[in-house]
Amino acid sequence: MLRVEAGDTFSIPSMVWHNFKNVGEAPGGFVAVHSPAVMEDFIREIGQQIDNSRDPPAPGGPPSDAEVQRMMGIISKYMEMRPPDKIER
């Protein structure tokens, strides 16, 4: 496990299993840079365009069951997901 703080950077090689979790009390955020840009279609499909970064949409509550199903369908098109108990450590 790698714990990062605001301003930290790190690199994950291609095809390496990884995940992330915000363990803080405040909403977290991160910037992912993919090179080469193999995840562009995924980000376009699952993301929400923000036209003004100085006025982002208000954070909502947890996603609805329908939204989770929509996101899981998109995720499964682009990557393989494993349940935590099936991940080799």
Per-residue model confidence as pLDDT tens digits over 33-82: 877 777 888 888 998 888 888 888 887 888 899 999 999 999 989 888 77
CA dihedral of 73, 75, 78, 84, whole degrees rounded to 10 = -120
Retrieve residue 66's tokens: 């329908």
pTM for this predicted structure: 0.57
Boundaries of every domain in the chain: 62-89
14: Cβ contacts below 8 Å, ≥ 6 apart:
none
Query: What is residue 87's predicted lDDT score, i.e. its pLDDT?
Result: 62
Residue 10's nearest CA partner among 28, 33, 27, 29 is 33
What burial class does residue 85 get, using C-beta atoms within 10 Å of its C-beta: 0-12 exposed, 13-18 middle, 19+ buried?
exposed
Query: What is residue 66's predicted lDDT score, i.e. its pLDDT?
Result: 94
